[in-house]
Amino acid sequence: MGIPVVDFSKLNGEGRADTMAQIANGCKEWGFFQVRAVIFSGFPVFNAFCGHTEMLLLLQLVNHGISEELLERVKKVSSECYRLEREPLFKESKPVKMLDELVRSSDTAGDGKRLDDIDYEDVFTLSDDNFNQWASLTPGFKETMAEYRAELKKLGERVMEVMDENLGLPNGYIKEAFDGGKENANKAFFGTKVSHYPPCPHPELVDGLRAHTDAGGVILLFQDDIVGGLQILKDGEWIDVLPVRNAIVINTGDQIEVLSNGRYKSVWHRVKSTRDGNRRSIASFYNPSLDATIAPAPQLVDEKKGVEEAAGQAMGHYPRMVFGDYMNIYVEQKFLAKEPRFKAAVRAT
């Protein structure tokens, strides 16, 4: 089945109900969606593609309102930053040394062994809390990335509001849950992970980023225009998320799965390393505050299950947990199945 296209501009006019239904379908069927910044007739368009599988989300938004000019600058400063400030370090990094060592110690490339405990990637994270440590040698990097983050954060909030509505939750429900309530001083966390997947001499021996689901809420990914590598697991098969120029891929993490009581599943994905090309990817994460308690929205818990729980019988599939407790487990178990993480976080809370 082809991936449907959703026009975001129709959210504000005629055709709103159809648009919401298309997004809802995409959210349930896939675990990702993509947004492309193309200004069409002067207003933002939301262009989603979805297809049938088991409750994952994959949508592509077009004309999301982030200017091409800003996206072009983001690409430029990120690539320059890699070349200037990161590449020399990557050449000396652990994955490069480990791969080199594996190949040197084997008769044939790798001798059938693979590097299964490391990612062949260069990465650093930007947040409001570490602004003073952002790369400062690359002209325009800090200013451009601050501007980009402000735009992406707003887009993330709009996406969460669409999800609220599609799930039948009050407007602002997801954001407030991620903030840990209106009164919590320690609000939801918005981080931006700037990654490069440099050319890898033996892509068969190591992944760019091993298969995982994301821990948090909504992830907005600006991937390379040309160099591919991102794949999602759909019906037991790895499917390429092909680059679309100036598109932003959106997927949902484990906390949306919990909050939606399993209606929106976090999707398994990975990045394959490639021999040619240096893939740039900039993933922005809208995550709960570490002290926020995340639980299925009561509106989404069916009554029968609620009664069972009240009677002390089998716990619902997604009980409540503190996000910080979940993260402590996630850092140890990121590349393993998510269900044991949910169970362990409940015990820790």
Residues contributing to the site for Fe ion (CB under 5 A): 214
326/345 Cα distance (integer angstroms): 5
How many angstroms separate the CA atoms of 32 and 60, rounded? 8
Q: Residue 8 is which amino acid? A: F
- Residue nearer to ligand AKG on the CB measure, 102 or 221: 221
Do residues 118 and 181 touch, judged by C-beta distance below 8 A?
no
Give CA–CA dist 214/151, Å, rounded: 21
**Closest residue by beta carbon to ligand AKG:** 281
What distances in angstroms separate CA 165 from CA 16, 173, 243, 298, one per listed residue?
A: 12, 9, 29, 15
250 binds, among Fe ion, ligand AKG, none (CB under 5 to 8 A by kind): none
CA gap 285, 218 in Å, rounded: 6
The distance of closest approach from Cβ of residue 307 to Fe ion in the complex, given in angstroms and rounded to an integer, is 37
Among Fe ion, ligand AKG, none, partner that 35 touches (CB below 5 to 8 angstroms by kind): none
Residues 99/275, Cβ–Cβ less than 8 Å: no
The amino acid at residue 293 is: T
Cα–Cα distance for residue pair 204/177, rounded to 1 Å: 42
Mask 277-306, x = binds ligand AKG (CB under 6 A)? ----x-x-----------------------
Structure tokens at 189: 């966390």
Binders in 175-214 for ligand AKG, by CB under 6 A: 193, 195, 209, 214
Selection from ligand AKG, Fe ion, none that 221 binds (CB < 5 to 8 A by kind) is: ligand AKG
* Closest listed residue to residue 53, CA positions, set 34, 22, 18, 28: 28
- In the complex, least distance from residue 249 CB atom to Fe ion, rounded to whole angstroms: 10
Q: How many residues bind ligand AKG (CB under 6 A)?
A: 11
Q: Which is nearer to ligand AKG, 50 or 230 (CB)?
A: 230
Indicate which of ligand AKG, Fe ion, none lies near residue 144 (CB less than 5 to 8 Å, by partner kind).
Answer: none
C-alpha separations of 199 from 24, 222, 277 in Å:
38, 19, 5
Region of 225 on the Ramachandran plot (φ > 0 left; ψ -120 to 50 alpha; else beta):
alpha
Q: Which residue is nearest to Fe ion (CB)?
A: 214
**Which of 214/325 has CB closer to Fe ion?**
214
Among 35, 57, 163, 271, binds ligand AKG (CB under 6 A): 271
- In the complex with ligand AKG, which residue's Cβ is closer, 243 or 296? 243
Task: Give the shortest CB-123-to-ligand AKG separation in angstroms.
Answer: 8
Instruction: Choose among Fe ion, ligand AKG, none what residue 126 binds, the Cβ cut-off being 5 to 8 Å by kind.
Output: none
Closest CB 332 distance from Fe ion, rounded Å: 17
State the nearest-atom distance from the C-beta of 319 to ligand AKG, in Å.
25
286 contacts 220 by C-beta, under 8 angstroms: yes
The distance of closest approach from Cβ of residue 269 to ligand AKG in the complex, given in angstroms and rounded to an integer, is 5
Secondary structure of residue 62 in the 3-state scheme: strand
**Least separation in angstroms between CB 271 and ligand AKG:** 5
Which 213-232 positions form the footprint of ligand AKG (CB under 6 A)?
214, 221, 223, 230
Whole-angstrom CA distances from 322 to 41, 248, 344 are: 44, 29, 11
Coil, strand, or helix at residue 312? coil
Closest distance of CB 152 from ligand AKG, Å? 14
**CB count, 10 Å around CB of 286?**
27
Residues that bind ligand AKG in the complex, under the rule CB under 6 A? 193, 195, 209, 214, 221, 223, 230, 269, 271, 281, 283
